[in-house]
Amino acid sequence: MRVAASPPYRAPRWLAGGHAQTIWPYFLRRPHVPMRRERVDTPDGDFWLFDWLDAPVSNPDAPLVVLFHGLEGSSASHYARALFARLAALGWRGVVPHFRGCADAPNRLPRAYHSGDFEEIAAMLDAVRARAPRDVPVWACGVSLGGSALLNWLGRAGTGARATVARAAAVSAPIDLMAAGQAIDRGLNRLYASHFLHTLKPKALSMAHRFPGRIDASAVARVRSMWAFDDVVTSRLHGFADTADYWTRASCKPWLASIRVPTLVLNARNDPFVPGESLPGPVDVADDVVLEQPAQGGHVGFMTGPMPGRLDWLPNRLVAFFAPA
């Protein structure tokens, strides 16, 4: 299998600034990719929804790419559609395991997902591996929050991760969660926080009513920032004392030195959510980790071409890393 390497990322001249590169992809038409939905039971009695891209019958040895989406993302997110359109063109397999609460049905248990959710990543990958043909390579990619959770798992699993995935990649992950969390509640970033809270708060209020005493509904109603949301919802649901405890313990940066699977960590230095000064350097990571930190790209943007632009650079970069020529 030979795949051409992607050139270094350079933003188009007409699209400047981290905010523009982050927002513009949301306005592009997303390609249609046929996917098969599967409801998968979890080990704790809940369920996940997996969206599968099947390989053609003529390509039984096609590799499988697992995509862990970002905060409030899904298989319909622009980066997911762009990547899976590329996989479909190559005749590869793909799957998006949705974090709990991110598909079209409320889950059974008072649980959601978070940036340090390494146990959920491990369980999802076990379910994927059990459904994949035995001898095909499995490559994992996490975007934003999904990238943070994946890196948390890779670091904790160490050499054991090789039994599940052959290569991995994290795109625009909040490497230092405290720095990223504080950034999203400042300045123009508060618009993004408001966007996320638009869907996060109703889900939390629904859970508060379904599971009385688990979450304080009145506190959720007063939330106006990601810090406040994580304080009254995320930390309470997942065993953290408060936001400070969550953002400290769930940060993936301390685990980068323990990764033993070839892993690409891609972060634009003008990402509005991930301060450039918080990004890791070579001394912070294991030899198996490839750091790629272009000056531009925004948060999961990496657009190219003349207006209105294209989203093909990132899929090509991931494919080239997973299957180097």
Beta strands in the chain (DSSP E): 36-41, 47-53, 64-68, 93-97, 138-143, 167-171, 263-266, 289-292
Residue 140's beta-bridge partner residues? 66, 168
- d(CA 258, CA 286) in angstroms, rounded, equals 6
Taking residues 170-184, report their average pLDDT.
97
Residue among 177, 145, 139 nearest 263 (CA): 139
What is the per-residue pLDDT for 35?
Answer: 97
pLDDT at 10 over 90: yes
Taking residues 177-181, report their average pLDDT.
97
Q: Is 144 a catalytic residue?
A: yes
Domains assigned to the chain: 18-176+252-322 (3.40.50.1820), 178-250 (no CATH)
User: Greatest CA separation found in the chain?
Assistant: 56
What is the per-residue pLDDT for 7?
Answer: 82
What is the per-residue pLDDT for 305?
Answer: 95
- d(CA 185, CA 224) in angstroms, rounded, equals 9
Residue among 118, 99, 114 nearest 46 (CA): 99
Taking residues 141-147, report their average pLDDT.
98
pLDDT at 1 over 50: no
Residue 37's beta-bridge partner residues? 51
Dihedral class, residue 126 (left if φ above 0, else alpha if ψ from -120 to 50, else beta): alpha
Phi, psi of 187 (to 5 degrees): 55, -140
**Which residue among 235, 238, 271, 278 is the active-site one?**
271
**Which residue among 75, 144, 148, 278 is the active-site one?**
144
Q: State pTM to two decimals.
A: 0.97
Q: Residues 227-257: pLDDT tens digits?
A: 999 999 999 999 999 999 999 999 999 999 9
Instruction: Give the Cα-Cα-Cα angle 16, 18, 23 (nearest 5 degrees).
Output: 95
Taking residues 112-137, report their average pLDDT.
96
What is the per-residue pLDDT for 104?
Answer: 76
Q: Is 19 a catalytic residue?
A: no
Q: How crowded is the C-beta side of 206, counted as CA atoms within 13 Å? A: 13
pLDDT at 105 over 90: no
- pLDDT above 90 covers a percentage of the chain that reads 95
Query: Could you tell me the pLDDT band of residue 156, with boundaries at 50, 70 and 90?
Result: very high
- d(CA 312, CA 7) in angstroms, rounded, equals 12
Residue among 180, 186, 189, 158 nearest 289 (CA): 158
Rounded to the nearest angstrom, the gap between the alpha carbon of residue 283 and the centroid of all alpha carbons in its chain is 24
- pLDDT above 70 covers a percentage of the chain that reads 98
Give the count of beta carbons closer than 10 Å to the beta carbon of residue 186: 11
Taking residues 141-150, report their average pLDDT.
98
Taking residues 248-267, report their average pLDDT.
98
- d(CA 152, CA 125) in angstroms, rounded, equals 14
pLDDT at 5 over 70: no
- d(CA 325, CA 323) in angstroms, rounded, equals 6
Burial class (CB in 10 A: 0-12, 13-18, 19+), 212: exposed
Give the count of beta carbons closer than 10 Å to the beta carbon of residue 213: 7
- d(CA 42, CA 188) in angstroms, rounded, equals 38
